[in-house]
Amino acid sequence: MSPAPLLVAAGLLAQGALLVPLAGAGTAAGLRLVTGAALAGVLAAVAWPRLASPARASLAMLAAGGFGMTLGWWADLGFGSAAAAGPDAAAWCGLAPGGGLPGLHLLCWMNAGMLAAGALAMRIAHGRRAPGAAAADALAMALGMSGGAALAVRVAPSLSAEAAVVSAHALMNAGMLAGMQLAVLARIARRRPVPRGLATRLPAPL
């Protein structure tokens, strides 16, 4: 049996476990977070054999890249609580302090962890790739995560501190995954062959 589904399940479970101190969750809320993450991990492991290769790559990215992001986020906070730091502090990596534009706080452990773990997941899923493709994926992931952080800051005032942190984690993961998918779609579009009839009508290159 391949270890991949177990590693994916472990990555999802670890994210839930790290969210407990990040969100400053109490015992009951922390138990719900870990239980939900464990359930997601079990479902991912069960579904893995039935998934197509692109879906497996996305799931591996969500598990590995999300774990690296979460661990790096916690490290940026000195292994403290993001809920206690507040939405305008360095807790919201990927944003300039004071609610500035996304992408102006890219040099942090959150981005480093996400990119390192995400690159490893993509290497396992796709093998060795061209440096340009890897760089495009990294940029798309970082920008997507920053976009998720920007949205999280906007919705945070309407939520409790604990819920704001959990929502930010979900939105940044979603942004990271969306950025990755856009990068893949862009590569597919560039590779699409010219229709045969159109190719015969195109002028010859000079």
How is residue 134 written in tokens? 């890897």
35 within a domain of the structure (yes/no): no
Q: What is the DSSP string of 114-150?
A: HHHHHHHHHHHHH-S--HHHHHHHHHHHHHHHHHHHH
90 within a domain of the structure (yes/no): yes
pLDDT at 55 over 70: yes
How far apart (Å, rounded) are the C-alpha atoms in residues 145 and 69? 9
Determine phi and psi for 95, rounding to 5 degrees. Answer: -125, 145
- 86-104 pLDDT, tens per residue? 655 545 665 545 444 544 5
Q: CB–CB of 68/113 below 8 Å? A: yes
Q: HSE on the CB side for 111, CA within 13 Å?
A: 24
pLDDT at 120 over 70: yes
Compute the average pLDDT of residues 165-194.
81
State the total domains in the chain. Answer: 1
182 within a domain of the structure (yes/no): yes
What is the percentage of the chain residues whose pLDDT exceeds 90?
Answer: 22
Q: Which residue has the tokens 């940026």?
A: 76
8 within a domain of the structure (yes/no): no
Least reliable range by pLDDT among 21-35, 52-66, 113-127: 113-127
- 163-174 pLDDT, tens per residue? 888 988 999 999
Compute the average pLDDT of residues 115-128.
73
For all residues of the chain together, what is the average pLDDT? 79
132 within a domain of the structure (yes/no): yes
22 within a domain of the structure (yes/no): no
Report which listed range, 27-31, 52-56, 197-201, is most confident.
Answer: 27-31
One-letter identity of residue 166: V
Amino acid 5: pLDDT: 86
**Domain with 99 in it:** 52-192
Pairwise pLDDT comparison (190 vs 64), residue with the higher score: 64
59 within a domain of the structure (yes/no): yes
pLDDT at 205 over 50: no
131 within a domain of the structure (yes/no): yes
Q: Which residue has the tokens 């930010």?
A: 168
Compute the average pLDDT of residues 22-47.
92
Compute the average pLDDT of residues 49-53.
87
Nearest by Cα to 47 from 59, 37, 35: 59
Amino acid 125: pLDDT: 61
- 122-164 pLDDT, tens per residue? 776 655 656 666 777 778 888 888 888 888 878 888 888 888 8
How is residue 138 written in tokens? 């990294």
